[in-house]
C-alpha cells in the first residue's frame, strides 16, 4: 500500500500527470452535468454522434494539413449539434434515429477521407487513438490544458446560471414555451455547450467512449436520487471521483486512460444500482 502511494507521489511530480488529472476531471464534470439533460431528452447517444462528427472534421483538417484542427472541429460539431437538437422538436426523423444516421455517416466518411488522403505512415494507429483516446491525455501541451480549463469553467458557469431554465425546458418544453421562456434559445445554448464539451472530451477518452462520460453519471445518480437537484449534485460528484480514480489507476497500472475510466464507471454504476435497489426495497 505505502509502495503504491510512493509511486503515486512520484508520478504526481510529473506535470503531464497533473495536467491529465485537471483536464480529465473538468471534462468529466462538464459531460456529467449536461448528460442529465441529454439522457432525459432521449439524446443519450448524441455524445457518440457528435464525436464521430468531430472525428470527420478532424479528417478534413488533416487533408488540408491544418496544424490547428480545433476551430474547424468546433465549428462543424456545433453546427451538427444545433441541427440535431432542432430536428428533435418537429421530428420527421426522430432524435435517436437522426443521431444514429449522422454518427455512422460521419464515421464512415471520416475514415474514408483519412484512408485516401492521410500522409501519416501509421494510419490505423492514428485512427485508433482518435477513437479510443489511448494516451493522448498524457501528451497534452500546456496551451491545450489552459484551453480546456478555460472552456470547462465557462461551461460550468453557464450551467449554473441557466440551471433553472435548463430544468424547465427539459421537464416540459411546451409549457416553458407557452409561458414565455425562450426555449429555442436555451436549446441552442445547450447544443453549443454540448458540442464544446464533446470536442474537449475527445482529447480525454476518444470519440468512442464519450457516451460513457455523458450517460453513466446521470444513470447512476438517477438510481439513487429523485429530485433534479440531488441527481445533478450526485452526478457531478460521481463523475469527478470516477474520472480521478480512473486516471490514477491508468497511470499506476499502465492501462489506456479512456477504457480505464469507463471500466470504473461501469463498476460504480453497478454499486449505485445495487444501492438504489436496496434503498427502494427498504422503503417499500
Partner 1 sequence: MAQLICQDLTLGYDGHVILSGLNFEVDAGDYLCIVGENGSGKSTLMKTILGLQSPMHGKVTTGDGLRRSEIGYLPQQTVVQRDFPASVWEIVLSGCQGRQGLRPFYNKADKALASENIRKMGLDALTRRCYRELSGGQQQRVLLARALCATQKILLLDEPVSGLDPRVTAEMYDLIDTLNKRDGITIIMISHDLDAAMRYASRILHIGSTVFFGSKEDYLKSDAAYTFRKEGETA
The residue count for the chain: 284
Kindly indicate which of the ranges 60-68, 158-166, 206-214, 238-246 contains the residues binding partner 1, using the contact rule CB under 8 A.
158-166
Q: Which residues of 194-215 are buried (b: 16+ CB within 10 A; e: fewer)?
A: bbbbbbbbbbbbbbbbbbbbbb
One-character DSSP codes across 49-118: HHHHHHHHHHHHHHHTT-S--HHHHHHHHHHHHHHHHHHHHH-SS-HHHHHHHHHHHHHHHHHHHHHHH-
For partner 1, the closer of residues 176 and 264 by Cβ is: 176
Judged by CB under 8 A, which of 66, 79, 128, 165 binds partner 1? 165
What's the rounded Cα separation, in Å, for the pair 200 and 55? 12
What's the rounded Cα separation, in Å, for the pair 263 and 209? 11
CA 199, 205, 206, 211 torsion-angle sign:
negative
Contact 152, 201 (CB under 8 A): no
For partner 1, the closer of residues 6 and 172 by Cβ is: 172
Does 86 sit near partner 1 (CB under 8 A)?
no
- Count of residues that interact with partner 1, criterion CB under 8 A: 29
For partner 1, the closer of residues 113 and 158 by Cβ is: 158
What's the rounded Cα separation, in Å, for the pair 123 and 280? 50
For partner 1, the closer of residues 13 and 227 by Cβ is: 227
Does 273 sit near partner 1 (CB under 8 A)?
no
Kindly indicate which of the ranges 111-119, 157-165, 190-198, 203-211 contains the residues binding partner 1, using the contact rule CB under 8 A.
157-165
For partner 1, the closer of residues 119 and 226 by Cβ is: 226
CB of 27 to partner 1, least distance (A): 24
Kindly indicate which of the ranges 45-53, 107-115, 224-232, 246-254 contains the residues binding partner 1, using the contact rule CB under 8 A.
224-232
Q: Which residues of 3-12 are buried (b: 16+ CB within 10 A; e: fewer)?
A: eeeeeeeeee
Judged by CB under 8 A, which of 87, 126, 144, 163 binds partner 1? 163
Does 172 sit near partner 1 (CB under 8 A)?
yes
What's the rounded Cα separation, in Å, for the pair 201 and 185? 24
Q: Which residues contact 180 (CB under 8 A, 6 or more apart)?
A: none
CB of 161 to partner 1, least distance (A): 4
Does 104 sit near partner 1 (CB under 8 A)?
no
x/- letters, 35..74, toward partner 1 (CB under 8 A): -----x-x--------------------------------
Does 222 sit near partner 1 (CB under 8 A)?
yes
For partner 1, the closer of residues 41 and 144 by Cβ is: 41
| Site residues (vs partner 1, CB under 8 A) | 40, 42, 160-165, 167-168, 171-172, 174-181, 221-222, 225-231
Amino acid at each position: 500500500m505505502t509502495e503504491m502511494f510512493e509511486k503515486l507521489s512520484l508520478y504526481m511530480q510529473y506535470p503531464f500527470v497533473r495536467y491529465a488529472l485537471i483536464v480529465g476531471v473538468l471534462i468529466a464534470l462538464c459531460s456529467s452535468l449536461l448528460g442529465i439533460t441529454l439522457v432525459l431528452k432521449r439524446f443519450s447517444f448524441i455524445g457518440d454522434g457528435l464525436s464521430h462528427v468531430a472525428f470527420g472534421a478532424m479528417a478534413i483538417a488533416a487533408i488540408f494539413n491544418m496544424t490547428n484542427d480545433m476551430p474547424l472541429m468546433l465549428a462543424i460539431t456545433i453546427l451538427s449539434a444545433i441541427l440535431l437538437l432542432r430536428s428533435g422538436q418537429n421530428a420527421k426523423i426522430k432524435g435517436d434515429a437522426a443521431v444514429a444516421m449522422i454518427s455512422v455517416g460521419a464515421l464512415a466518411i471520416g475514415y474514408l477521407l483519412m484512408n485516401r488522403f492521410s500522409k501519416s505512415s501509421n494510419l490505423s494507429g492514428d485512427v485508433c487513438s482518435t477513437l479510443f483516446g489511448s494516451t493522448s491525455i498524457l501528451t497534452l501541451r500546456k496551451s491545450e490544458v489552459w484551453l480546456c480549463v478555460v472552456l470547462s469553467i465557462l461551461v460550468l458557469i453557464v450551467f449554473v446560471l441557466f440551471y433553472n431554465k435548463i430544468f424547465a425546458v427539459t421537464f416540459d418544453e411546451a409549457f416553458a414555451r407557452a409561458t414565455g421562456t425562450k426555449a429555442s434559445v436555451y436549446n441552442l445554448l445547450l447544443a453549443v455547450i454540448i458540442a464544446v464539451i464533446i470536442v474537449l472530451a475527445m482529447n480525454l477518452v476518444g470519440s468512442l467512449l464519450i457516451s460513457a462520460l455523458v450517460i453513466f453519471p446521470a444513470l447512476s445518480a438517477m438510481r439513487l436520487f429523485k429530485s433534479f437537484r440531488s441527481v445533478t449534485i450526485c452526478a457531478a460528484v460521481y463523475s469527478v471521483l470516477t474520472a480521478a480514480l480512473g486516471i490514477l489507476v491508468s497511470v499506476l497500472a499502465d492501462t489506456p486512460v479512456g477504457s480505464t475510466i469507463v471500466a470504473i464507471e461501469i463498476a460504480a454504476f453497478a454499486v449505485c444500482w445495487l444501492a438504489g435497489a436496496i434503498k427502494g426495497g427498504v422503503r417499500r
